[in-house]
Amino acid sequence: MSANIICPNCKSENDCSELSREEQLVLYCANCDAEIGEVVPKTILIKEFFYFLLNAFIYVLVIGTSAYAFENYNELKGITGFIFLFSFFLGSLALHEFFHAFFAYIFGDYTILDKGYLRLNILKYFYGPTSFIFPGILVLFTGVFLPGAAVYLRTDLIKYRLYKFIVNVSGVFSQAIFLYFIMFLINSSSLNYSNDFATLLHVAAFIQLTMFIFNLLPIPGFDGWNAIFSLTSERIGNFFSRYLFLPSFALLIYALIFIEEFNFYFLDKFNTLEEMIGLNSDLIYIGLDYMMIIDIDTLVSIRIWLEEIIGKF
Ligand SMILES: [Zn+2]
Ligand SMILES: [Zn+2]
């Protein structure tokens, strides 16, 4: 705890150098009574770190076990392939939100600790129905279910624009790490795994690449948008994010699915990117089958049905 805390409410300085660190307690401004910080004993931080390790271990265990079962029990491939890809995705999503929270915490948002955001527990990062409604709609088009996640941060407690920028871009550090790790597995010549497992790795990498690109798009509500506006005007950025996040996200999805020129352009750019980092589109296509919870035939009939409905408007 730094000796002096500037109150974010009335800007007066509070001397906190005399406080003991024995027990957790919230600090209030001596001048205006606003909450200005929190004293946290080391034991609590160690406990949070232990939770982090425990949760990280659970992801590794599930991912590792499903990979082992995939390679050794042929009849279970459908389900173990799905569990492998889905738990890999959830682990990377949890780490994404963890990075946002971790940097917000060290840059001044003391409320992070009590929210449990430093624990890597995926359940802490889901934010109610919105985590599932949009992904639920997307399943009808893609057959793939990828839930969303978010952390609530108090950016007003973070002093510098550069710090806020780092908080916003730090989420995709997770995708960079996961992608680097999978590409290592894909390119390693000393590892032995089946061709089927190779398709899983290519899909896992494809999902990380997609998460990386999409999160950094300058679209209201996305990390890329927030990062740009944290450097310029956070207030304007947040205003548009609040009102335009859902409409612009819906528009993007609509364009990707129903506007062919846009779809071709985007896929073409994406394919180039895949090849650049050493991914194989054919293997991705084959591997995606393990991730799909609705089969192609059903998807086609859903699409025809939806196009008919949209055509009526
Ligand atoms: Zn104050
Ligand atoms: Zn993010």
Cα of 216 from ligand 1 centre, angstroms = 36
Per-residue pLDDT, 3: 66
Q: What angle do CA 220, 253, 130 make, to 5 degrees?
A: 65
Tell me the domain boundaries of the chain: 1-39, 40-311
Per-residue pLDDT, 2: 55
Minimum-distance ligand to the CA of 223?
A: 2
Cα of 291 from ligand 2 centre, angstroms = 22
Euclidean distance between CA atoms 203 and 180, whole angstroms: 14
Burial class (CB in 10 A: 0-12, 13-18, 19+), 208: buried
Per-residue pLDDT, 192: 87
Cα of 153 from ligand 2 centre, angstroms = 11
Cα of 247 from ligand 1 centre, angstroms = 38
Are the C-beta atoms of residues 218 and 169 closer than 8 Å to each other? no
Per-residue pLDDT, 262: 87
Whether the full predicted model's pTM is greater than 0.75, yes or no, is yes
Minimum-distance ligand to the CA of 103?
A: 2
Per-residue pLDDT, 42: 86
Cβ contacts of residue 255 below 8 Å, gap of 6+? 262, 263
Cα of 313 from ligand 2 centre, angstroms = 35
Minimum-distance ligand to the CA of 12?
A: 1
Low-confidence ranges of the chain (pLDDT < 70): 1-3
Whether 22 is catalytic is no
Catalytic residue among 97, 234, 261, 274: 97
Phi and psi at 128, nearest 5°, equal: 75, -155
DSSP, collapsed to helix, strand or coil, labels residue 197 as: helix
Per-residue pLDDT, 137: 84
